[in-house]
Amino acid sequence: MKWNELEKQFDLDIPADEPIFPVNIVCKLLDMQYYMLHEVVKEGILDKKKKEKKLFSFKDIKQLKYIKYLVEVEGVNIKGVKVILKIKESKE
């Protein structure tokens, strides 16, 4: 068996919306303060059903990265982020 074939057997096929990352890992990956993540969840910007276990998916991390950009670079507050994301969602 070739190495590439063997390596493919061990690949994980995790759906982008599967919640697998705990809060501390998300904060570390995004260099984000816990209070900011807490505010995002509290405002209902991310799907609350999944957040009951405090686990986040790849899709959530991508959205949180965008939220962090809006807050830190563009100076938007969390309520403003919520409005921006609603407008963006309605256009899609």
- pLDDT at position 2 over 60: yes
Q: How many structural domains compose the chain?
A: 1
DSSP assigned state of 74: S
Q: Which domain holds residue 84?
A: 16-91
pLDDT at 51: 53
pTM (2 decimals)?
Answer: 0.80
pLDDT at 33: 93
Assigned domain for 83 exists: yes
Average pLDDT score over the chain: 86
Q: Which segments of the chain does DSSP mark as H helices, in order?
A: 3-9, 23-30, 34-42, 48-51, 58-72, 78-91
pLDDT tens digits for range 33-51? 999 998 998 888 886 565 5
d(CA 77, CA 38): 14
d(CA 44, CA 74): 21
Assigned domain for 8 exists: no
Task: Kindly report the CATH number assigned to the domain that includes residue 79.
Answer: 1.10.1660
